[in-house]
Amino acid sequence: MASPQTIRALCLFIVNVCVLAAVAGCGGSERGAAPPAQRLSQAVYVWQRQWNAAVQAAVREAAGTADGFVALAGEVQWTRGRPHVAKVEVDYAGLKAASKPVGLAIRIGEHAGLFSRDEAGTRFLETFAAQVVAEARGRGLRVAELQIDCDCATSQLADYTFLIGRLKQAVAVPLVITALPCWLGSAAFAKLARSADGFVLQVHSLEKPQAVGQGLTLCDPIRAAAWVEQAGRLGVPFRVALPTYGYLAAFSGEGRLLGISAEGPARSWGDQARLVAVRADPAGLARLLRDWNAQRTPYLTGVVWYRLPVHGDRLNWQWRTLAALMSGRALIERVTCRVAYPEPPLAEVALVNEGQIDVLPRGTLDLQWSAGRMLGGDGLSGYELERVGEQRARLHYAGSGSARVVGAGEQWPVAWLRFDRKTEVQVHEE
């Protein structure tokens, strides 16, 4: 059997051949114009730490569109200089059944010292990385790469390069690092990037806003495009991590930041907190992706979306949004109102998102009916019902503090009304 170093060298040789071919292809177009770039590969991060039925179903659904997956295999945190592992029980059989390239990722928390001076810590990471790859292979999964996501300060990138050199000797697969835009201007990063077999540039971040009115964004397309151009000048193959998620920022009545969360409202915020949702913008990212697919640095080879949409994740896109974007289809925003009559005197009103983009709930809906008298009714899903006439009522959305959206493909029940006879309800948006 070939040694780990021989296998890794062969994989790196193949990557370099592909990059050189791409560079050569950019020089043969007529009149000096760049030829159309080949389509970017598009993989998805499976960063969930619990592989429940919903995550397994999401992987099966995404397998038909995604070019590959990168699954979190474990996280290492340091307490008093000693490592502690939170291992993820990955569904290797499910990933294998997807029949797509699969990478594994190890998250490494902030290390107070230097790896070059912590032989025990470095050896621990070497052993853990080798175990992660060996376990996946033992379960029948072919590991395409191992990603290292290290919480490293720019001032410690030289030491991080030392760690990567050691980890490369421990695993027999291409070793890729995740990188931050603030690293790009460092001479130490150029050496780090060349010591790995590639990197993934993370152009999204969850930043703490200081005031309610402050502009909030997860990914600025203009800055992302500039960072990609800067990264391309290193001459190292890389991909870009783009966001699908969102988070909530909670503010007090005086505008003071109470906290941020990517999971949902925290109890400590209280019922009076003002919640502001910050979400990845699918339209802006679609334009960015179209630009890169048309023309880009030849060293940019793909996109990795963070993270896999899973049913029930309220602060992430629905799968139909990401699938449409990955496939290059138009992102359509379309919400309709639907009235059902489960029994003749009872009417149930719902909002139906038939598009590919999550939308905010409609502010006010006007309800009118042709005959009969309303005996009772109530608003649902944050809506309040107000009767304004014998044959008319209004629905006001009062749940703005929850920062919820009607997800793509979702149906929201917003009211029920009971009449003294069969009638037909018309719904209009005000």
Query: At 377, which amino acid appears?
Result: G
Residue 15 has pLDDT above 80, yes or no: no
Q: Give backbone dihedrals phi and psi of 201, rounded to 5 degrees, phi first.
A: -85, 120
The CA distance from 362 to 406, in Å, is 9
How much is the pLDDT for 252?
85
Q: Is pLDDT above 70 for 34? A: no
Helix (H, G, I), strand (E, B) or coil at 148: strand
Pairwise pLDDT comparison (259 vs 383), residue with the higher score: 383
Burial status of residue 127 (CB atoms within 10 A of its CB: 0-12, 13-18, 19 or more): exposed
Q: Where in the chain is the domain with CATH 2.60.40?
A: 335-429
Beta strand ranges found along 163-299 (DSSP E): 175-179, 199-202, 238-243, 246-251, 257-261, 274-279
- Res. 1: pLDDT tops 70: no
Quote the pLDDT of residue 30: 29
**Residue 420 token pair:** 């003294």
Per-residue model confidence (pLDDT) at position 276: 80
User: Would you say residue 14 has pLDDT above 90?
Assistant: no
Considering only CA atoms, which of 351, 311, 313 is closest in space to residue 334?
351
Give the pairing type, strands 102-108 and 68-79.
parallel
Residue 36 tokens read as: 């159309």
Contacts (Cβ under 8 Å, ≥6 apart) of 407: 318, 353, 358
To the nearest 10°, the Cα dihedral for 375, 380, 384, 386? Answer: -20
The residue behind tokens 């409202």 is 265
Question: CA Rg, the chain, in Å?
Answer: 26
The predicted pLDDT at position 402 comes to: 53
pLDDT at 233: 97
Residue 397: which pLDDT band, with cuts at 50, 70 and 90?
A: very high
Burial 273-299 (b: 16+ CB within 10 A, else e): bbbbbbbbbbebbbebbeebeeebbbb
User: Cβ distance 202 to 184 under 8 Å?
Assistant: no
> What's the rounded Cα separation, in Å, for the pair 16 and 237?
8
Longest dimension (CA), the chain: 84
- Tell me what pLDDT residue 275 has: 81
Domain with CATH 3.20.20.80 in the chain: 15-25+38-245+280-327
Decide if domain 335-429 falls under CATH 2.60.40: yes
Residue scoring higher pLDDT (215 or 289): 289
Strands of the sheet with 411-419, listed across from one edge: 335-343, 346-353, 411-419, 374-379
pLDDT at 4: 41
What is the pLDDT at residue 213?
59
pLDDT of 401 > 60? The answer is no
Q: What distance in Å separates the CA atoms of residue 69 and residue 84, rounded to the nearest whole number?
A: 26
What pLDDT does 17 receive?
A: 33
Work out the pLDDT band at 214, boundaries 50, 70, 90. low
- Of 101 and 218, the one with more pLDDT: 101
- The model's pLDDT over 273-284, given as tens digits with 9 standing for 90+, comes to 888 888 899 999
Q: What share of the chain is helix, strand, coil (3-state, %, to 5)?
A: 30, 30, 35
The answer to whether the pTM exceeds 0.75 is: yes
Mean pLDDT of 165-177: 97
Q: What is the DSSP annotation of 273-321? A: PEEEEEE--HHHHHHHHHHHHHS--TTEEEEEEE----TT-TTB--HHH
In percent, how much of the chain has pLDDT > 90? 74
pLDDT digits (tens, 9 = 90+) for 59-101: 999 999 999 999 999 999 999 999 999 999 999 999 999 999 9
From the list 115, 221, 237, the residue with the least C-alpha distance to 177 is 237
Confidence check: pLDDT of 36 > 50: no
Residue 150 — φ and ψ, nearest 5°?
-110, 130
The predicted pLDDT at position 212 comes to: 67
Predicted pLDDT of residue 290: 95
pLDDT tops 60 at residue 111: yes
Q: Which residues have C-beta within 8 Å of that of residue 415, sequence separation ≥ 6?
A: 348, 349, 367, 377, 378, 379, 380, 383, 385, 395
Give residue 403's pLDDT.
63
Is residue 32 over pLDDT 50?
no
Average of per-residue pLDDT across 367-395: 95
For the ranges 30-44, 267-281, 323-337, 406-420, the lowest mean pLDDT is seen at 30-44
**How many angstroms separate the CA atoms of 225 and 221, rounded?**
6
Mean pLDDT of 370-390: 94
Judge whether residue 33 has pLDDT over 50: no
Q: Which residues contact 64 (CB under 8 A, 6 or more apart)?
A: none
369 pLDDT more than 60:
yes
- Looking at domain 15-25+38-245+280-327, its CATH class is alpha beta
| 137-162 tens-digit pLDDT | 999 999 999 999 999 999 999 999 99
Per residue in 228-275, pLDDT (tens digit) is: 999 999 999 999 999 999 988 888 888 888 888 877 777 788 878 888
- Mean pLDDT of all residues belonging to the chain: 88
The pair phi, psi for residue 154, each rounded to 5°, is -55, -35
pLDDT in tens, 302-325: 999 999 999 988 889 999 999 999
Q: What pLDDT is attached to residue 268?
A: 81
